[in-house]
């Protein structure tokens, strides 16, 4: 109801329904309280016609995640992802699309624990390919490098497979580093 249908009213009804159930775990109820607030803000924005920029929404979602945990900001990040996907389809500017791809990578960094595991990498790579050898491509490469390194780091150290190292090198060259 949030990302695809953009229906905060129905989403709010669903959240409130589950909040009233006695079987809903406490840790989920805490997050649902934040979801409820986010959906109510969205409804107010709709009724007043005042919407916030993606940048403003990203800052608010980041602060919410920092203050209360990443899952508290799920509604905000799903909403942002919807707007970014529309932005990609609605512009012919490679620079704008590269920026949107990077922002989608950042959004899915937060949402990956909700089942979007490898999606951030897809968007960071799309950013690099969209505008090679640009400042934004360099930023996106650094995000890819960090994700890959973290993904192959464990208690025994960091062991990146040779195929991943080659792929990183190819992306590094594309980014102009």
Q: What angle do CA 47, 73, 44 make, to 5 degrees?
A: 10
Identify the CA nearest to 32 among candidates 51, 11, 46, 47. Answer: 11
pTM to 2 decimal places: 0.72
pLDDT (tens digit per residue) in 143-159: 889 888 887 888 888 88
CA atoms within 13 A on the CB side of 97: 15
pLDDT digits (tens, 9 = 90+) for 79-134: 899 989 999 998 899 999 999 999 998 888 887 766 556 778 888 888 999 999 99
Distance CA 38, CA 52 (A): 13
- Residue-level pLDDT at 117: 61
77: buried, middle or exposed (CB in 10 Å: 19+, 13-18, 0-12)?
buried
């Amino acid at each position: 109801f949030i990302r695809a249908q953009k229906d905060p009213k129905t989403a709010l009804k669903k959240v409130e329904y589950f909040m009233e159930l006695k079987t809903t775990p406490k840790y989920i109820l805490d997050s649902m309280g934040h979801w409820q607030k986010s959906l109510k803000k969205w409804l107010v924005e709709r009724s007043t016609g005042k919407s916030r920029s993606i940048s403003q929404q990203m800052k608010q979602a980041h602060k919410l995640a920092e203050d209360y945990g990443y899952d508290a900001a799920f509604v905000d990040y799903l909403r942002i992802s919807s707007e970014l996907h529309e932005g990609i389809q609605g512009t012919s500017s490679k620079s704008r699309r590269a920026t949107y791809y990077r922002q989608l990578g950042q959004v899915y960094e937060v949402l990956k624990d909700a089942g979007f595991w490898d999606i951030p990498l897809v968007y960071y790579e799309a950013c690099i390919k969209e505008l090679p050898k640009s400042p934004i491509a360099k930023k996106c490469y650094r995000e890819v490098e960090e994700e890959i390194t973290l993904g192959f780091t464990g208690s025994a150290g960091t062991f990146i497979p040779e195929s991943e190292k080659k792929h990183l090198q190819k992306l590094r060259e594309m980014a102009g580093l």
